Structure 1
Amino acid sequence: MGSLLSGLPGIEGRVRRGGLAVLATAAAVTAAAVTAAVVPLIAAPAAAFGQGRGGDHLTVVVRHAGAGWDGTYELFCHPAGGHHPDVRGACQKLDEQTQWGRDLFAPVPPGTICSMISGGPATARVTGTWAGRPVDASYDRNNGCEIDRWNRMVPLLPKIG
């Protein structure tokens, strides 16, 4: 016990005299010291761990959506940046829809009954990192469910129709 508390002046002698309250205080001081050492490692930005810029980063590849939208776009959020046509709108929309434990980019579940309407030939692929999780999602407009899924991602994806 002496070596554990040797860095805390006056504590060691009080503990030997049977002061349980002092022992609890010593434990709290030790826990606080450990927390102070660990929290900076947990709270460090992603950039500190070699992930480049940090924050959320998505690459959006759009095809067959029409003039002005087809192409590859980089989107950064937290902080906002990149060459996406609506950086702030896309980041805001994604932030609004992000919920703990829910995959924002999840495909339509198998077996879902969808209306058989076509929303055109547009496709998109979104890859990167969002909310600390890897993203690799494909989008099309082949039925009502896929159109709805696409529309929930506007303005990350282009508004069509």
Structure 2
Amino acid sequence: MLRRLALTAAASVAVSVAALSGLPAAAQAGTPAAAPAPAPATAPVDRLTVTVTDSAGGGDGTYVLKCHPTGGNHPEAADACARLDEVTVFGTDPFAPVPRNAMCTMQYGGPATAHIRGTWAGRPVDARYSRTDGCQISRWNALVPVLPATSA
């Protein structure tokens, strides 16, 4: 009985030492441990899919915009990435919808709509845009050239 207690205490001390040293207990006992997973070779790319309809300015279509590094088939990829970098501020969402209680001018900016989805700054994006009132027009214009400038 005394011998069993001594062995249990010794095993407990070995596990505690292994935990404190940051190495698995198996490595402390001379057994090889599994290697840690390798880190990704490159940082994740900011990638957005932008779909625009009824813009009346020739910007209709679906485009892929990649930033950091710049790529994709967006017609103004470098300028669009620069604009997104400019409006991305810690603590705010550059794709946030207009607040429900916002007072907006009753003006119509045309039938254009857009849908932006993907990943930006490590966060998922799923945002819809229109030009149905002053607030929506302002929100759209804040993202030009990610979204096309419209003539309406």
After superposition, the C-alpha distances for 1:34-58 in whole angstroms (9 at most, x for unaligned) are xxxx9x85x8634xxxxxxx31000
TM-score (norm 2): 0.72
- How do 1:67-146 residues align onto structure 2 when only pairs under 5 Å count? 68-146=58-136
Q: Residues 134, 112 of structure 1: CA spacing in aligned structure 2 closer, same or farther, 3 A cutoff?
A: same
Which of the pair is proportionally richer in helix?
Answer: 1
Q: CA offsets per residue over residues 130-157 of structure 1, 9 Å max, x none?
A: 0000000000000000000000000000
Amino acid at match of 1:126: I
Local SS of the residue matching 2:146: coil
1:156 paired residue number: 146
Q: Please give the alpha-carbon distance, in whole angstroms, between the structure 2 residues aligned to 1:56 and 1:116.
A: 35
Distance 1:99 1:149 in 2: 16
AA matched with 1:132: G
Give the Cα–Cα distance (whole angstroms) in 1 for the partners of residues 147 and 93 of structure 2.
17
Task: Summarize the alignment of residues 1-20 of structure 1 with structure 2, pairs less than 5 Å apart.
Answer: none
| Cα distance per residue 1:39-91 (max 9 Å; x no partner) | x85x8634xxxxxxx31000000000025211000000000001001000000
Residues matched between the structures, number: 121
Identity of aligned residues (%): 54
The amino acid of 2:66's aligned partner reads F
String of CA shifts for 1:97-152, please: whole Å, max 9, x gaps.
10112111000000100000000000000000000000000000000000000000
Matched with 1:26 is: none
CA distance in 1, matches of 2:130, 2:57: 17
Please provide the CA RMSD for this pair: 2.3
Larger Rg: 2
Using a 3 Å threshold, how does the CA distance of structure 1 residues 67 and 114 change in structure 2: closer, same or farther? closer
- Alignment gaps of 5+ in structure 2: 1-12, 22-35
> Looking at both structures, which has the greater relative contact order when contacts are Cα pairs under 8 Å and sequence separation is at least 6?
2
**Could you list the runs of 4 or more consecutive aligned residues of structure 1 that deviate by over 3 angstroms after TM superposition?**
43-46
SS at match of 1:120: coil
> Is the contact between residue 57 and residue 150 of structure 2 (CA under 8 Å) also seen in structure 1?
no
Q: State the one-letter code of the partner of 1:45.
A: T
**Which residues of structure 1 form unaligned runs of 5+?**
8-37, 47-53
